Amino acid sequence: MSAFKDFTIGPVAYLGTQDYAAGGGCKLTVKLTDMEGRPIVGQVIIFYEPPNTPLESPTLEIETDSTGYAEIMLERGHVVEVAFLGTAFIRRIVVPDAPFADILQLANVPVFDAFSIVKLDPIPVIRRTC
């Protein structure tokens, strides 16, 4: 463990407000809104070390503010589980070797497009005659 770490959960290091551009940390951010574009306030996001569950290992938690924004600084290269409290959303991510990253992009969540059209393939049907 390096001397600049403020807090650790297992090998995962929370860097607090340390200088992420110096190469040690990555600022993970998220901006949550509902389908009408209103911010989701108070959403708790939990980070923990896999393969454990949040009940089995220490966790780090962040909460979205009045604009739906939250951020956390984690050490680059570590694998963590991200869980959105109160939902079924749990993803394993690798903290990238970059100064900034979006949590939802790391979790491979597609961007919602209200104007996308869903196209279904036709279902083959066997025609029967009497």
Would the pLDDT of 19 be above 60? no
* Model confidence pLDDT, tens digit, residues 35-94: 888 899 999 999 988 877 666 767 889 999 999 999 998 888 888 899 998 888 888 999
Q: Does domain 7-106 have CATH number 3.40.50.1000?
A: no
- Those residues whose C-beta lies under 8 Å from the C-beta of residue 27, and which sit 6 or more positions away, are 20, 71, 72, 73, 99, 100, 101
How distant, in Å, are the alpha carbons of 3, 25, 69, 86, 92 from that of 62?
Answer: 23, 17, 10, 14, 17
* Model confidence pLDDT, tens digit, residues 102-122: 998 888 776 555 554 555 667
Every domain of the chain and the residues it spans: 7-106
pTM: 0.68
